[in-house]
Structure 1
Amino acid sequence: MDLYNSPLFRLILVATFIFHDLCSSDEAGYYSFLKDATSGPTLSHFDYIIIGGGTAGSALAATLSQNATVLVLERGGSPYDNPAATDIGNFANTLINITDPNSWSQLFISEDGVFNTRARVLGGGTVLNAGFYSRWEDEFVAETGWVREEVEAAYEWVEKKLVFEPHIKGWQTAFIDGLLEAGVVPYNGFTYEHVHGTKVGGTIFDPDGHRHTAADLLEYANPNTIAVYLHASVHKILFTTKGNSRPKAYGVIFQDANGVFHTAELTVQDARSEVILSAGAIASPQLLMLSGVGPAAHLAAHGVNPIILDHPMVGQGMGDNPMHPVFIPSPKPVEVSLVQVVGIPNFSSYIEGGSGLSLSISLTRTFFNGVLDLLNKLKFPSQSISNLLKSLDLGLNVTTQAGVIIQKVSGPLSRGHLELRNTNPDDNPSVTFNYYQDPEDLNNCVKGLSAIINVIDSKGYSSYKYPGVNGRGLLNLILALPINLRPRHITSTSDLKQYCMDTTMTIYHYHGGCQVGNVVDNDYKVLGVDALRVIDASTFLKSPGTNPQATIMMLGRYMGQKILREREAF
């Protein structure tokens, strides 16, 4: 009889887990199984170890806990510690609060000179984003080989817990009218589906403006079989080659906020147990490399030892959808709204908008101070840019009487790569996205900006702009702001292609680095390694739909159910 797979052993394991849960401090609150990593044992065993409690990881963990023991290791804190920070009125301030080491937002600057943000909080990007909820395109669901009925059920599982139909008010109504007048037709009303034309999508903000996040999906979890450790920084995935022809993951090493290291291992001799990376498109390929799985020469150059597997595609295929906003001062008050409406034209660019957001001037100054600190740390070569930020007069006219319309280039086709900068998992790796390397992305940017200009100049939108103001003129506002660290080649909007390249921003939809077919197979198992999967946006070949969060949460649920079925059939 196999003791470790016997019902008696599993009963003892669960009972031990429950006892530890009852005896541990409950400082994190909200869920009984939410703990600070400092309260965790130095050695523990679980059926599944999930690295990252973000957009995918929370959904995955809640699902797997229905029939297995699960440990979630989240490097950040809990969104429930400060619920007001996630309310709609605090969106901008929370997103750019990057100087506090315990904040939920971590700044990184790509090698392209574009400011970006990584979430470090339970719930991941759903705690920081603009809240728009829209499903993936049907044709891409078909390309993945997913079972459509199970995809639909997984989306509904997410939607039942945290998605709402937004209440459309004045500014968003004018935005709809402007899109339709600009030819982004037909009008499809409210729908979660990705359909061409203009539509109202879902939102994770409830009618009172309170944000609901992927962390809320943990309400589905079995509290007796799951542990979530906060402020748990994973340093390495552990592998064994003993008795195997290829490496097999068997655990992880993580560090708590006091600097103490802990080891979590998979359930002894349970061949069904797995380590699952759900740390996001930056940390998942980074952690694979730090654990010895990646381009061997690059790992050796950084002193990674041992090198487990020469895997040259880890970190490749990085993509980020470029964004270009246009700010429109309004002659009359506007409601506070984030993304509720999207225009999906017949070219590869999406058009979204929001209104009435306030931003603290002092926090804006703090943000740029944080930029300077990071530039100094990275020894960024451009002293002129540092001087510009130091001398910048941030006399911003902070007002709620303004709207913003943005365009996101779909895909994108342009691709970059991720490399280690050092061996500290808490530091940002070096990331290059190669924005607009593919000319088709650039063409779509020009088409998107032209569509925004037409929306602003439409009769339907006219009451929300000052007389005599036109869309092309408003593009010039961006040229006066330090929105990125890229060289400026123009001082006007006469050349929209150059404008796109000079004024590139991110919409925070970065992905790639562990792509399906290159690093993982169609079941998200790491190629060449056993007992290790990657389930998050790092596996995507492109950013799904207009906004990826719906599909990332769906993926966690979908794969969780698939893994449980495999477990039962083992």
Structure 2
Amino acid sequence: MYDYIIIGAGSAGCVLANRLTEDPDCRVLLLEAGPRDWHPFIHMPAGLAKLVGKKGVNWNYDTAPEPHLNNRTMWWPRGKVLGGSSSINAMCYIRGVPADYNDWAKHGATGWDWNNALPYFKRSEHNERGGDALHGSHGPLYVSDLRYTNPLSRAFIDAGRQAGYALNRDFNGPRQQGFGFYQVTQKDGARCSSAVAYLHPVRERHNLTIVTGAQANHITFDRQRANGVTFRVGGKAFHQVATREVLLSGGAINSPQLLMLSGIGPAAHLRRHGIDVVFDAPQVGENLQDHLDICTLQHSTQRVTYDRVSDAKIAFDYYLRGHSGPGSSNIAEAGAFVRSQYAPDERADIQFHFVPAMLDDHGRHRLVGDGYTAHACFLRPRSRGRILLASANAGDKARIEANYLSDPEGFDLKMMVECAKVAREVFAQKAFDAYRGEPIYPARNDLSDGELVEFIRAKAETVYHPVGTCRMGSDDQSVVDPQLRVRGVEGLRVIDASVMPTLIGGNTNAPTIMIAERAADLITGRAA
């Protein structure tokens, strides 16, 4: 018998498993659909480039055709392994800004304002620079400066300064705006995923059971109370009971899918798939948000990029020299937060990730030669998508309708054009003179706004930040309440990025870990 069953050992689930089993009398079962995080490419930071198409650790989702992106089907990689997406991401440690969380509270996520969120960010964080008013120094999640950076990344930062933007040594400090190097979730030059930080140190606890390769099929109910989970391992079916609560941490795609498969969702949609309705919850799967990304690529006249570096040499040097050299790079080494002319408040509304290599189609399309890439995304999109069931079979992937660039006023598209323009401005600065070759994407540096629109429709992709599909709020239509309890039933919570009411201004891994840290206190009664 288990007190809690956690579905999903990703960024949130690993945190919950750790914090709940601090009580030796609390028994926890942690289910993960993917394998253990044994693969060496997971732990060598630069190995992320090799994880792009690795099916064994990736759900490999595809969206439905996107009407505003030339009906393209978009690839959405998500982690299917212990640590979830924190085991395959670029490790950039970003929290967003206080106003992001204050907005959550204003829209009904009571208790999730910045003053309540900050202590949990600090509790999770072990920053190698030490602790202060904004940073923790004793948490399990190691946050470090990069051990190795490419000279092109420094050129990007210098170009930002030349273009009139500030420099910023700490994007999680008193101000977010400016150009600088990212701090990363690494410990001693190796990836510090949620599994490394929270799960590995406690996996021998007698009150924690971890099952990998476990595909959750349904959450079961006794009347309106969740009482367990059915799942399959190696072709065999199991049903396990939870005496206290079921905690769903599958992420922005899997969590709403499993709720719907279990009878919680839009009633008409569930009935079309022959699913008995436990509770009619129309907003399950709705409110999907993601950062859309446009890449500007330029050839490099110098062979200093990562395009033709030997993978074997990188790995050899990395392990021989104590986790140093290019193997310790997160590839997206430098970045920026920029406030555009269209920003409605004082917050940055554009984020950059700079890569000293040519990245086309998530790196799946290898280009000839050497080059560098500026990823740019609009931080607060107004477009909303949804997650739907493709069938009543848990083994079938959900239907993802991201609905990018669909906002009626066309503001998201205007901002994507602005993203491309700022990238062009930065690449034109003197700092790149020694490296600048011919443009790749777009093919010319003088495209009109109309031509940039067509470029965006043809080339924009996800930057891997889906959230919002089990929205948290105080209104009756929200999927979960501010304690993350699923409305309409008892004994069930959702704890992952799907509960975010809106996207924060940055990467979503650190906020997801913060949510799980606070959720553990809500569950145990340590927080109101």
TM value normalised by structure 1: 0.75
Counterpart in the other structure of 1:196: 177
Decide whether the 8 Å contact of 1:240 with 1:250 is kept in 2: yes
SS at match of 1:287: helix
Q: Give me the whole-angstrom Cα distance separating, in 1, the residues matched to 2:269 and 2:114.
A: 40
Q: Give me the whole-angstrom Cα distance separating, in 2, the residues matched to 1:442 and 1:493.
A: 11
Counterpart in the other structure of 1:264: 240
Decide whether the 8 Å contact of 1:89 with 1:358 is kept in 2: no
Deviation at 1:452, TM superposition (A): 0.3
Counterpart in the other structure of 1:96: 53
Decide whether the 8 Å contact of 2:98 with 2:114 is kept in 1: no
Mapping for residues 153-552 of structure 1, pairs under 5 Å: 153-160=119-126, 161-167=141-147, 168-183=149-164, 185-193=165-173, 195-206=176-187, 208=189, 210-216=190-196, 217-219=198-200, 221=202, 223-241=205-223, 247-257=224-234, 259-267=235-243, 273-304=244-275, 306-332=276-302, 333-334=304-305, 336=326, 337=329, 338-347=331-340, 348-356=349-357, 396-397=367-368, 401-438=370-407, 439-466=410-437, 469=438, 473-476=439-442, 495-517=451-473, 518-552=478-512
Decide whether the 8 Å contact of 1:201 with 1:341 is kept in 2: yes
**Cα distance 1:118–1:426, how it changes in 2: closer, same or farther (>3 A)?**
farther
Q: Give me the whole-angstrom Cα distance separating, in 2, the residues matched to 1:58 and 1:132.
A: 19
Deviation at 1:266, TM superposition (A): 1.4
**Cα distance 1:120–1:254, how it changes in 2: closer, same or farther (>3 A)?**
same
Decide whether the 8 Å contact of 1:59 with 1:554 is kept in 2: no
Q: Give me the whole-angstrom Cα distance separating, in 1, the residues matched to 2:242 and 2:397.
A: 28
Decide whether the 8 Å contact of 2:42 with 2:87 is kept in 1: no
Amino acid at match of 2:490: D
Amino acid at match of 1:249: A
Decide whether the 8 Å contact of 2:59 with 2:80 is kept in 1: yes
Root mean square deviation, CA, Å: 2.7
Amino acid at match of 1:555: I
State which of 83, 103, 112 in structure 2 corresponds to 1:123: 83
Deviation at 1:475, TM superposition (A): 2.4
Whose helix fraction is larger, Structure 1's or Structure 2's?
Answer: 1
SS at match of 1:177: helix
**Cα distance 1:146–1:542, how it changes in 2: closer, same or farther (>3 A)?**
closer
Decide whether the 8 Å contact of 1:182 with 1:451 is kept in 2: no
Deviation at 1:426, TM superposition (A): 2.7
Deviation at 1:151, TM superposition (A): 2.9
Deviations 1:68-105 (A, max 9, x none): 221111000111x212344233222212223xxx3434
Deviations 1:162-221 (A, max 9, x none): 3211244422111111122223x321213434612223331124564x322110111454
Counterpart in the other structure of 1:60: 16
Q: Give me the whole-angstrom Cα distance separating, in 1, the residues matched to 2:359 and 2:102.
A: 41
Decide whether the 8 Å contact of 1:92 with 1:357 is kept in 2: no
**Cα distance 1:345–1:357, how it changes in 2: closer, same or farther (>3 A)?**
closer
> Sequence identity, in percent?
28
**Cα distance 1:418–1:395, how it changes in 2: closer, same or farther (>3 A)?**
closer
Moved more, 50-59 or 553-562: 553-562
SS at match of 1:463: coil
Decide whether the 8 Å contact of 2:171 with 2:177 is kept in 1: no
Moved more, 513-522 or 161-170: 161-170
Give unpaired runs (5+ residues) of structure 1: 1-44, 242-246, 268-272, 368-393, 479-490
Q: Give me the whole-angstrom Cα distance separating, in 1, the residues matched to 2:124 and 2:434.
A: 37
For the pair shown, which has the larger CA radius of gyration, 1 or 2? 1
Decide whether the 8 Å contact of 1:77 with 1:104 is kept in 2: no
Amino acid at match of 2:350: S
Decide whether the 8 Å contact of 1:53 with 1:123 is kept in 2: yes
Deviation at 1:106, TM superposition (A): 2.2
Q: Give me the whole-angstrom Cα distance separating, in 1, the residues matched to 2:456 and 2:358.
A: 24
Deviations 1:230-256 (A, max 9, x none): 001100001112xxxxx1111110100
Q: Give me the whole-angstrom Cα distance separating, in 2, the residues matched to 1:175 and 1:494.
A: 27
Amino acid at match of 2:225: K
Does residue 51 of structure 1 match 2:44?
A: no
**Cα distance 1:86–1:94, how it changes in 2: closer, same or farther (>3 A)?**
farther
Decide whether the 8 Å contact of 1:252 with 1:265 is kept in 2: yes
Counterpart in the other structure of 2:314: none
Amino acid at match of 1:251: G
Q: Give me the whole-angstrom Cα distance separating, in 2, the residues matched to 1:492 and 1:474.
A: 16
Counterpart in the other structure of 2:64: 110
Deviation at 1:395, TM superposition (A): 7.4
State which of 9, 27, 31 in structure 2 corresponds to 1:69: 27
**Cα distance 1:566–1:131, how it changes in 2: closer, same or farther (>3 A)?**
closer
Counterpart in the other structure of 2:343: none
Deviations 1:360-393 (A, max 9, x none): x9x98xx7xxxxxxxxxxxxxxxxxxxxxxxxxx
SS at match of 1:316: coil
Give unpaired runs (5+ residues) of structure 2: 67-72, 106-110, 127-140, 307-325, 341-348
Amino acid at match of 1:64: L
Q: Give me the whole-angstrom Cα distance separating, in 1, the residues matched to 2:51 and 2:31.
A: 23
Deviation at 1:356, TM superposition (A): 4.1
Deviation at 1:107, TM superposition (A): 3.3
Amino acid at match of 1:187: L
Q: Give me the whole-angstrom Cα distance separating, in 1, the residues matched to 2:507 and 2:21.
A: 28
Q: Give me the whole-angstrom Cα distance separating, in 2, the residues matched to 1:170 and 1:395.
A: 22
Q: Give me the whole-angstrom Cα distance separating, in 1, the residues matched to 2:34 and 2:236.
A: 16
Deviation at 1:58, TM superposition (A): 0.8
TM value normalised by structure 2: 0.81
Deviation at 1:303, TM superposition (A): 1.0
Q: Give me the whole-angstrom Cα distance separating, in 1, the residues matched to 2:266 and 2:226.
A: 18
